[in-house]
Structure 1
């Protein structure tokens, strides 16, 4: 059977994939675009099968939406100002966006892309796909956007004794399928992990009267940073705090000068006084969260106190978005916290390395995701080229030029020289990608493989962790549309290589308490990142009225209305 042909294939129907389709078609209205997703519904991380009870975003109304499709007015979803957005509302919002923009008809669901083989002479890619009927077919596309993101493949550790457990072992991403039965029949569950989804799962079961034994690995990263929605002595909305230019200056950022404010960044990070001010800012921010949460007021809540200072964490920063006080459940004993390693499993029992054990009707795993795309990439001869495309992989020896790159980063940001003291017992979970790969993503602007920068045929979109998803997704979508269409200037190879090295390596030093060493993971640096992309596109970076507003008013989706139209006018 002859391969189906199209102009652009987007793999992934989440935040990044949908806005990419809209943006590309806005610029190329006659293009034949196809969106493939291996699950049954739209939404990516907000797909229908992932919406476990009580799931909400860390975002409140007005900050988690596309610029030109607000969640109010004609698109209202019943969310009031100051309310966190439920997961089912996000799913409905993305579905309605796709319908009204004519994108839903371009989507094919339950279609799994296994391989992408490069065609000769930059003619595109041929994809091998399996559909819901387990039928295999091929698609030839001139352009390919991989928008599967970092949270599409669930990771469950290889537990010793898993076959003898006699109870469900469920990843939080798959909890929706099991929640009804567990919530009606279980009397005790074990939640394993310290991330936001572990907090969500523990809360959901405890509020239903089911006792939770919450296990946070003694050999892990510890509990994630959980912040109240409003922080600092001034009670500022956290989401808007991280997108306020003045406050982004306190974060050392290798691409930070893209915002045009070189002097304050120089003052805060290149002078002794500035670094003292910067440390004080982060101490106040972190200490305020610890104080507001009252970790030290009870021996059980003290176990949930983060192990890494706030300065060093990234998108792992989460918000207490529960309708009642989470910590009451801990103080009352409805959630029992164990800082222990899991040794083995037996019949409905979880055994710790300390010799203790707890019974469980289910083991709920908040153990993260396989961040590398599940598909394989091949050259014209059928050989794998994942490494050439900047995908995580394992390689022996030192990274070429790493000493020079590190020296430049630490010279520009001396505050990073004294790295945080990580857990001395830290080990990766059995079967995790941390054990398999020792090289991180390496993509220009976190999107394009440097080796194929002049090919203009493939982009990796959404391989980035930040709490400012919509504004980042929009900027990436426009940037990649211009890039794929050869309507933006690509720097010389040496510049591409240097900037890719700096940006890739920077994550290791800046976000040692997050996942910056594996993939782009940042919080206060999202607006400067958008600035960098807009600057590449020769668009206006400063989008507020007046210097005072530019510095002290938070950025949000509404500030980027008309972005595509602005760019198109420059290319008419």
Structure 2
């Protein structure tokens, strides 16, 4: 055993990005005795949190948004820490586990290239690495090309036996809507910027930009709302900020106390069909579906009670159950596909596009190989289904973290990083590539089913206990983490349930 260990700890692991997933991947790789290198293009940790609005707060209570073995400091008294507090928390996590010395800051990865094995050979493999070895037994290695962000043209090369992409999908390549020729920002007298540019401004600068202007924010997600709130705060009633959106979305009141019990318990997951469930669970989900409908209606009623949605025509058409994803289509059309009468143009001096990012594009751009680029982004706009949400079955020696969504995203990311560390440590093996693809496709069907028409990006918000169960079984942990049947069924699951194996 010792010989095997000694051998694999010389393996080079490259982690791209020092956001939450990157820090977790680094911490758990270290815990197994590896010596990972993290490449981060910014000058500090925190990824998305390092570049967001000063007024942004955590929208999940901190008890759900914490590392299993590193609680929030007592000095943070609020349930919803501010952006600075979150950043401090992430920084102290990195300090506490001595991750910073493994991070190369201001170092942007401009491309990765798989060398040593012909692509045709990789294509013919039935098992990962050709023989089920996650590090590849055929001598394949990744070449990671990086550039320092001090503006120098010179690039450096690093070699890695395994690459973990933690590039997140909420930053990077802005999603700018397509405009018809002559009808885009160039035809507009005012200024059009993407929300990233706005978030990157210092507090004083953003105020100067917005002050006294008629601002329109495009988008209806949390980020759009944060920007709109900030602009209204700066301009007051004199210059109201307009929010333009295509699809109404259910947006939670500040915090909805029954939420964890309704959505984060095993019982709540019995109400829905799950990927890979057996006959009994499937039958149960069908029988219990009226309860799920009842919960959904209860949540909708609560939200309507707190917010005057009807008065403003903001009640979403889709039920709360189906509210995921975002889509853009050209102007409004009626049933017969005739262009409807357009409302008079809205006058504005500044348009902020909070229209999200092209996470897939950012992932794609990293690969030198055209074939891997095509694999990672399958059919138009659909990222390839990943096995256990992190392994692209047909790309060797690679994992993608931080690219699927979930409500309590931090501890699900943590479980995924632990699972990956155990895999790299040889604790278990990946199944045949075909099996992995079938399993990932199952999950994909599940996401599409529950997100209905508006499916775009997957969200494991509704079944992360089920998901964590699978990771636990792979790692040889007991998936049942609570004391007694009642607790197991009805108590919400959270980060502290997964402290130790």
User: Could you say whether these structures have the same fold, taking a TM-score greater than 0.5 normalized by the shorter chain as the test?
Assistant: yes
> 1:492 aligned to 416, 429, 432, which one?
432
- For the pair 1:245 / 2:266, whether they are aligned, the reply is yes
> 2:383 aligned to 440, 451, 458, which one?
440
Q: Which residue of 1 aligns with 2:204?
A: 180
RMSD: 2.6
Contact 1:55 1:200 (8 Å CA) reproduced = yes
Q: Within 2, Cα distance between the matches of 1:169 and 1:279?
A: 42
- For the pair 1:309 / 2:319, whether they are aligned, the reply is yes
Q: Which residue of 2 aligns with 1:228?
A: 253
Cα deviation, residue 18, structure 1: 0.4
Cα deviation, residue 545, structure 1: 0.9
Look up the SS of the partner of 2:43 in the other structure: coil
Contact 1:187 1:361 (8 Å CA) reproduced = yes
Q: Which residue of 2 aligns with 1:157?
A: 177
Q: Deviations over 1:151-188 (max 9, x none)?
A: 12222224434135454423223323345334243332
Look up the SS of the partner of 2:60 in the other structure: strand
> 2:159 aligned to 140, 147, 156, which one?
140
**Would you say how many aligned residue pairs link Structure 1 and Structure 2?**
448
> 2:356 aligned to 368, 372, 379, which one?
368
Query: Residues 341 and 207 (structure 1 numbering): CA distance in 2 closer, same or farther, change over 3 Å?
Result: farther
TM-score scaled by length of structure 2: 0.82
Q: Deviations over 1:451-489 (max 9, x none)?
A: 24xx4x211111101111111111110111122333213
Which ranges of structure 1 fall in alignment gaps of 5 or more residues?
317-339, 343-351, 395-436, 567-572
Look up the SS of the partner of 2:462 in the other structure: coil
Q: Which residue of 1 aligns with 2:392?
A: 449
Look up the SS of the partner of 2:87 in the other structure: helix
> 1:554 aligned to 477, 492, 496, which one?
492
Contact 1:113 1:375 (8 Å CA) reproduced = no
Q: Deviations over 1:45-90 (max 9, x none)?
A: 111xx2213101111131111011110xxx334233xx31211211
> 1:203 aligned to 220, 229, 238, which one?
229
Q: Within 2, Cα distance between the matches of 1:240 and 1:448?
A: 31
- Correspondence 1:95-494 to 2 at 5 A: 95-120=91-116, 121-133=138-150, 134=152, 135-153=154-172, 154-159=174-179, 160-178=183-201, 180-184=204-208, 185-210=211-236, 211-217=239-245, 220=246, 222-231=247-256, 236=258, 238-239=259-260, 241-255=262-276, 263=280, 265-271=281-287, 274-296=288-310, 298=311, 300=312, 302=313, 304-314=314-324, 354=342, 356-372=344-360, 373-378=363-368, 383-388=370-375, 391-394=376-379, 437-452=380-395, 455=396, 457-494=397-434
Q: Within 2, Cα distance between the matches of 1:187 and 1:376?
A: 39
Q: Within 2, Cα distance between the matches of 1:291 and 1:187?
A: 33
Which ranges of structure 2 fall in alignment gaps of 5 or more residues?
1-9, 117-137, 333-339
Contact 1:39 1:111 (8 Å CA) reproduced = yes
Moved more, 245-254 or 463-472: 245-254
Cα deviation, residue 34, structure 1: 0.9
- Correspondence 1:32-51 to 2 at 5 A: 32-47=35-50, 50-51=51-52
Contact 2:11 2:160 (8 Å CA) reproduced = yes
Query: Residues 53 and 256 (structure 1 numbering): CA distance in 2 closer, same or farther, change over 3 Å?
Result: farther
Q: Which residue of 2 aligns with 1:398?
A: none
Q: Which residue of 2 aligns with 1:430?
A: none
TM-score scaled by length of structure 1: 0.73
Cα deviation, residue 7, structure 1: 0.9
> 2:450 aligned to 501, 510, 519, which one?
510
Q: Within 2, Cα distance between the matches of 1:17 and 1:96?
A: 15
